[in-house]
Amino acid sequence: MEGCPGSKMVDFRTEKTQTETGTTAKAVSQLRQWPVQLHLISPTAPYYQGADVVLTADCVGYALGNFHADFLKGKSIAIGCPKLDADQDEYVDKIASWCDDAKINILHVVIMQVPCCRGLLQIAQQGVAKASRKVPIKYSIVSLKGEILQEEWVTAAA
């Protein structure tokens, strides 16, 4: 039995590091809010009103080398772990509140390729399905090495 891919140890230190391109200047943080953890945020905070929201799994920010520039810039954020976080019904309610009360523009869900991460997308779909006001959901799947494996728009769960 191999065990859960989400917690399986993978060591790729010996692999050749990708050649860095572009400027060596320090990357500027694109975070424009606090808190970020989904249990802590208020869905009606001013930075969610009418916003493009990115909902990411906890590990995404570490896997994606250019997370701030490519995914966070211009957006509001929340993070969560669909495998380890408790009381995930609250997550569904907060996402529904984003849609109905904050009237967010889009919800971009970014998850890792490990199977357990898919739960975050399901939570997002349940939240939007619960809301009266629908928003389009886009999802991106990130590999352990920071590549985008898949990216597409979905419809909310019925």
What x/- string results for residues 14 through 53 when contact with other proteins is judged by CB under 8 A? --------------------------------------x-
The residue whose two tokens read 């590549």 is 147
Q: How many residues bind other proteins (CB under 8 A)?
A: 15
- d(Cα 158, Cα 156) in Å, to the nearest integer? 6
Q: Rule CB under 8 A: is residue 106 a binding residue for other proteins? A: yes
- Buried b / exposed e along 119-144 (16+ C-beta atoms within 10 A): bbbebbbbbbbbbeeebebebbbbee
Q: Rule CB under 8 A: is residue 108 a binding residue for other proteins? A: yes
Nearer to other proteins, 62 or 153 (CB): 153
CA 39 to chain centre: 14
List contacts with other proteins (CB under 8 A): 52, 74, 104-106, 108, 133-136, 138, 151-153, 155
